[in-house]
Amino acid sequence: MQIGHFALANSLFVAPMAGVTDRPFRQLCKRLGAGYAVSEMVTSRRDLWDSLKTSRRANHEGEPGPIAVQIAGTDARMMADAAIYNIERGAQIIDINMGCPAKKVCNKWAGSALMQDEALALSIAQAVVDACAPRNVPVTLKMRTGWCQAHKNAVTLARAFESAGVQMLAVHGRTREQGYKGEAEYDTIRQVKAAVNIPVVANGDITSPEKARAVLQATGADAIMIGRAAQGRPWIFREIAHFLTTGEHLAPPLVSEVKRLLVEHLQDHYSLYDEFIGVRSARKHIAWYVRALPGGEAFRAHMNTLESSGEQVAAVEQYLDRLNEKMDRIPAWEATADVRGHNNMTTMECAL
């Protein structure tokens, strides 16, 4: 798998998710088998670039390359400037957000709302490519199948984006109208793949090794992108990689390994955020890790009462130590309708 001049380790991607795919989460997923990860969206609004939120999203200290940063906005010149801003801070690949369905984003005509205005969408893509090309920085783009069921224009836009110089497309198999509801469809992704010569990445409802293989076969995509299914289960990437290579399932991780991974994740998370924000933003990650484990609901409720990082880490260690006395490995986890249908907008922290 290649994006511009960058050769990737494999074709398993971490989807950009605002409020989730910060540097600690991206690094963890890469350690556990992901070949590529895209940052949370960074606003194109210059007046917000000095904010603490944006500075954290633009923090790539110690992150293995290639470093990909997603930018969001509605003005071609501002988006080009945002691309340069992030390149100067370490971005090696720029990704354009035309896939986010959050009302907070779409109400400003950013994200997937741009698919309603094909001329504007194309002008943004062209401006960003023109800004990045002299710096030898590839531009990629994430979009949906269309704005609504009656107006699926992903194929038309894909051709236009390729002509503008975009070097990879990621397509979520839903319209903006669907949000995260219902089932993702892959026919449109297959049509996009057939219409262009650049790599195409399939995204949406990929929750297991079997589903990953089925989506690759159904779409002919060059790679798959996983979002919600990696929340609290970052080892899903190595599980899929093993299955695609051998046709066999990798054993679930040891409880002791999950304890080590989660504690390391928390410590890295606290180092990026201050104590107050770090403790509160870590709660959702902890909840995702334990949601399928015995006593997970009660532990999550307890976790929400703790106010310090030290208390959080101690509680996590105690809970997993007790679990380890009962079982060596965590139970094999299967995606449920609850997880697939979870609307991540409740954790979105978009700054537009």
Mean pLDDT in each 10-residue stretch from start to end of the chain (352 residues)?
A: 94 94 95 95 84 77 90 94 94 90 49 85 97 98 86 94 98 82 91 98 96 97 97 97 96 96 97 94 96 93 95 98 94 54 34 27
Question: Is 199:209 a contact under the CB 8 Å cutoff?
Answer: no
- Straight-line distance from the first to the last Cα atom of the chain, in angstroms, rounded to the nearest whole number: 32
Determine the pLDDT at residue 156: 96
Q: What is the DSSP string of 292-347?
A: TSTTHHHHHHHHTT--SHHHHHHHHHHHHHHHHTT-SBPPPP---HHHHT--GGGG
- Is 132 catalytic? The answer is no
Q: Are strands 2-3 and 6-7 parallel, antiparallel or unpaired?
A: antiparallel
Q: Identify whether 222 is part of a domain.
A: yes
Indicate if 242 and 261 belong to the same structural domain.
Answer: no
Under DSSP, the state recorded for 148 is B
Together in a domain, 177 and 271: no
Examine the domain organization and report whether 186 and 308 are in the same domain.
no
Find the domain containing 115 and state its range: 2-248+341-347
pLDDT at 7: 95
- For residues 315 and 205, membership in a common domain is answered with no
pLDDT of residue 50: 76
How far is 45 from 81, CA to CA, in rounded Å? 9
Is residue 142 situated within a structural domain? yes
Kindly state whether residues 12 and 31 are assigned to the same domain.
Answer: yes
Give the number of other CB atoms < 10 A from CB of residue 342.
15
At residue 104, the pLDDT reads 52
Residues 271 and 226 in one domain: no
Residue 46 lies in a domain: yes
Q: Is residue 336 part of a domain?
A: no
Q: How far, in Å, CA of 226 to CA of 234, rounded?
A: 10
Do residues 133 and 87 both lie within one domain? yes
Instruction: Spot the catalytic one: 100, 106, 132, 350.
Output: 100
**Separation of alpha carbons 343 and 180, rounded Å:** 6
Residue 332 lies in a domain: no
Give yes or no: residues 301 and 205 share one domain: no
The DSSP output letter for 15 is: P
CATH number, residue 159: 3.20.20.70
Q: In this structure, is residue 153 part of a structural domain? A: yes
User: For residue 107, what pLDDT is reported?
Assistant: 45
Q: Are 72 and 105 in contact (CB under 8 A)?
A: yes
Looking at residue 6, the DSSP 8-state letter turns out to be E
